[in-house]
Chains A and B, each alone.
Chain A
């Protein structure tokens, strides 16, 4: 599944005093449009990658955590064995783009079942140089 960018990104930046040399907490929220269609009675599983539109150097990025929930589900016609799942969630820093990425294992069931969108919150603890502030 290609990298998904949030349709409604919001950011909150909070000055913090640690731990260590961390001085910023960023909260990124939004809903990612997924449009994932089921393939039948068995679960179709994919890895969802929601890219946060903010770069952090490896030194600046201290830690990231996240949470994701179902925010849009649907079923066309009669629902038979329909289902929608988020099985796991983690936040990693992508070394190529320098951006935090929420990585979630998602699944959908029923040939006409759709996982439309996923809402998320990503928290990043960072050390930002004064010049960047």
Chain B
């Protein structure tokens, strides 16, 4: 079970210039990119807080879509590196009028672009992310349920472009795309499709898919669905190895009001573990209030005027660069007879894991909510320990992990904490001993703060390549 926790919204209910018909979000190491129906924004994290305004030049002579197709950025915002890319006029005049959820890959923004009323197959735009100016487009083939392409993403594992229909999605379409810009034409070659399966391996259909993103760290695929409180939210698939189907690992419901009267709409999403960046100096305004690893755009569609934008942030420990830290670290090396060496490492794992919010909506009308208080939620932890050593020099390694800090906020109901499956094995990539274990929690307000560890490594002397 993949652990997750909703942290909060930032921005929250903001009529920022990128809010109107906001569609999706992505990033590179230094910038956020946000798509609207008619344009794509680039915001350097060192210069711009996503909660802040952008200085737009007054455009009074034009209204409607043309308003968004005109370059309106003020000089001071250009100087900050903020850029805005509107649907190229030649494509807009041809009838293409709707960007979807975007992705960043190897210096390019990948943007799906749909035709008016879906009368023609959509296009995929490849846009130079540096200047957000040069672009090329390629045609997607017709798909089954209309001519949708609400999102597209490059899978870092196979470098292929993935996209899907919108309303009833039971498979993803995979294309080979040349990530270059030569003129305005590019080539997409359809390769295959991959089926979606539920947790027990049965065919799965997701409604109203709005966004998608692959995790380079875990290989998981995250799809966002605007199908309401019960069926919508975030679907997480195991996509770690090339296969003909992706199996569902977890469906995460998202608290939002999709009814017409509320008009909230889940859009695209991205993964960025922003916490390591926060600790750098100087602080970056574009990241400082953005916690967690998964970031989901939500729109409050006011229909008439400007919309309100939200970005929902989720903590997904498996996607964090450092979901925990080691502290009180101590190590002792002793030489033993017969050219052997023993290394003992001890310390604490500072984790602050929290039990899953075990409220599941079964239906809205009538309201049926199931509480999963007695369900354990587990996640994997792993870390490297000890010196580098050759595999042939490692004789054996053992680990003991024990509870060293637990708590429960408020009344304790069905709370529980456990650590199991502790293992110490040699890791070929790092040439060090890798510790792994499964940590489990129960109760929504149960916390696991600390684990203690003791690792004993027995090795031939001298095992150390470098410290």
- Residues of chain A touching chain B, judged by Cβ–Cβ distance below 8 Å, are 14-19, 22, 25, 63, 65-70, 73, 75, 78-91, 109, 119, 121, 123, 125
Contact = CB atoms under 8 A, between A and B. Distances in A.
A16 B335 contact: yes
B334 A25 contact: yes
A86 B336 contact: no
Contacts of B411: 78-80
A81 B408 contact: yes
Contacts, number: 104
Contacts of A70: 402-406
Given A16-B335, A16-B336, A86 B408 contact: no
Contacts of B454: 67, 121
Contact of B407 (A63, A67, A81, A125): A81
Contacts of B68: none
A83 B403 CA distance: 12
A88 B327 contact: yes
Given A67-B453, A88-B327, A22 B334 contact: yes
Contact of B402 (A16, A17, A69, A125): A69
A88 B410 contact: no
A81 B410 contact: yes
A66 B328 CA distance: 9
Taking chain A's interface residues, is the majority helix, strand, or loop, or is none over half, making it mixed? strand
Taking chain B's interface residues, is the majority helix, strand, or loop, or is none over half, making it mixed? strand
A119 B336 CA distance: 27
Contact of A89 (B348, B412, B449): B348
Contacts of B328: 88-90
B443 to A, nearest CB: 10
B334 A18 contact: yes
Interface string B405-435: 1111111100100000000000000000000
A43 B54 CA distance: 45
A131 B202 CA distance: 74
Contacts of B346: 65-67, 89, 121, 123
Contacts of B404: 68-70, 85-86
Nearest to B340: A17
Interface string B150-168: 0000000000000000000
A88 B334 contact: no
Contact of B450 (A79, A87, A91): A87
B330 A66 contact: yes
